[in-house]
Amino acid sequence: MSAIDTTVIVVNWNSAKDLTACLASLRRQTERDFETIVVDNGSSDDSIERVRREHPEVRVLENGANLGFAEACNRGIACSDRSWVALLNNDAVADPRWIEELRSAARASDEDVGMIQARIMDALAPARVDSTGVELRPGGRFHDRESGTTWTGRDGLEEIFCTSAGAALYRRAMLDAVRLPTGVFDRDFGLYFEDVDLGWRCRLAGWSARLAPRAVVYHARHSSSRRRGDRFVELQCRRNRIATLLKNASLALLTRSLAGTLRDLVLIFVRSGPGGVRGHFHSIGHALSQRSRVTALIRVSRRDVERHWRMLS
């Protein structure tokens, strides 16, 4: 049986209680031969003190400031040399067989599979699905697969477009192959849709993704980010949706999604005001500047990927 040497990366910001529960679930794993790294984004609570006191087996990387989820993940990935990297949200609790089932899925997958999605369930309603990966829809919208539905039970691996970084396993060879100057995850995204941007880029580079439904976590959605307010979440999602399309989509899909993009731009302007909108337009310019770098990685055409996932007729 081949080794699946694994690092689990947990990003944290002022979430001591959630983080304690998350790390306790990792300690209960049926397979314990993995490394855990907590990347802390400048917490001002006692998160790190509690980790060092209660979980001495965990490596801690302190950023000293809130660099965003994407860049925190990048720094955690850079600190590990293992061949597989698992990401787990700090507000998620893993089933005891989570690592075991992810590794089993990795062993059963072909070499082009670089992303393996855990089944993410709602912590407040454990029979309800939070996400089984990312779904792309016509018009350039991204959604969590099966979100809000009741889980009916399936065991086999399923092909999906890409993974949600809230609970997923990534092949390091893939991450190294698709890394851009802005990181494996684009640090400009901060948080939200950074996983869609990465997954789409991986698809274009010829990699694929699978859902491992027997690998389960329970997630308290937006536990950290909601403290910054609903408007922050909305504006980040709208901005990063546009950036993801500009970097990865074909011209045909960009045209088809133009109405939605214009609507998002108007709402960004209205809700950010003239002073706040400048940063959002900087992000759009950044995305356009990265498009050629994504193009250089392409092994499967943009239009073929979009047709396969029914975004183009």
Say which CATH number the domain at 187 has.
3.90.550.10
CB 284 within 8 A of CB 277: no
Rounded CA separation 136/306 (Å): 9
Where residue 289 falls (left for φ over 0; alpha for ψ -120 to 50; beta otherwise) is alpha
Q: State residue 41's pLDDT score.
A: 97
Residue 131 pLDDT exceeds 80: yes
Local structure of 304: helix, strand or coil: helix
What pLDDT is attached to residue 230?
A: 74
In this structure, are 197 and 276 located in the same domain? no
pTM over 0.85: yes
- Does residue 79 have a pLDDT over 90? yes
Q: How many angstroms separate the Cα of 150 from the Cα of each of 98, 126, 135?
A: 20, 9, 17
Answer whether residue 224 shows pLDDT above 70. no
The yes-or-no verdict on residue 197 having pLDDT over 90 is yes
Residue 1 belongs to a domain = no
Q: Which two tokens stand for residue 313?
A: 């007729």
Query: Are 158 and 302 found together in one domain?
Result: no
Residues 249 and 142 occupy one common structural domain? no
At 225 the pLDDT is 55
Choose among 147, 165, 132, 159: nearest CA to 309: 159
The beta-strand segments (E) located in 80-144 are: 84-88, 92-94, 113-122, 125-131, 134-137, 141-144
Are 269 and 299 in a shared domain? yes
Of the listed ranges 9-13, 129-133, 177-181, 221-225, the one predicted with least confidence = 221-225
Predicted pLDDT of residue 1: 43
Percent of the chain with pLDDT over 70: 95
Percent of the chain with pLDDT over 90: 83
**What does the pLDDT read at residue 20?**
96
Characterise 222 by phi-psi region: left (phi > 0), alpha (psi -120 to 50), beta (else).
left
111 and 204 assigned to the same domain = yes
Whether residue 124 lies inside any domain: the answer is: yes
Where are the alpha helices (H) located in 205-257, listed in sequence order? 230-248, 251-256
d(CA 311, CA 218): 30
- How many angstroms separate the CA atoms of 147 and 221, rounded? 11
Mean pLDDT of 271-275: 74
Do 134 and 103 share a structural domain? yes
CA-based nearest residue to 131, from 15, 75, 252, 212: 212
For residue range 33-49, list pLDDT tens digits in order.
999 999 999 999 999 99
Distances (CA, A) of 127 to 26, 52, 121, 143, 219: 21, 34, 7, 19, 12
The C-alpha atoms of residue 56 and residue 58 are separated, in whole angstroms, by 5
Domain span holding position 303:
227-308
Q: Of the residues 223, 250, 282, which one is the last residue of a structural domain?
A: 223
| pLDDT at position 270 | 86
Question: Do 159 and 291 share a domain, yes or no?
Answer: no
Q: Given this model, what pLDDT does residue 275 score?
A: 66
Q: Tell me, yes or no, whether 80 and 214 share the same domain.
A: yes
φ and ψ at 138, to 5 degrees? -55, 145
How distant, in Å, are the alpha carbons of 31, 95, 164, 178 from that of 25? 12, 7, 19, 31
> Do 213 and 165 sit in the same domain of this protein?
yes
Would residue 313 count as lying in a domain?
A: no
Amino acid 109: pLDDT: 96
Whether residues 231 and 219 share a domain: the answer is no
Is 185 in the same domain as 235? no
- 8 A C-beta contact, residue 84 and residue 4: yes
Q: Is 219 within the bounds of a domain?
A: yes
- Give the pLDDT score at 138: 82
Q: What's the domain count of the chain?
A: 2
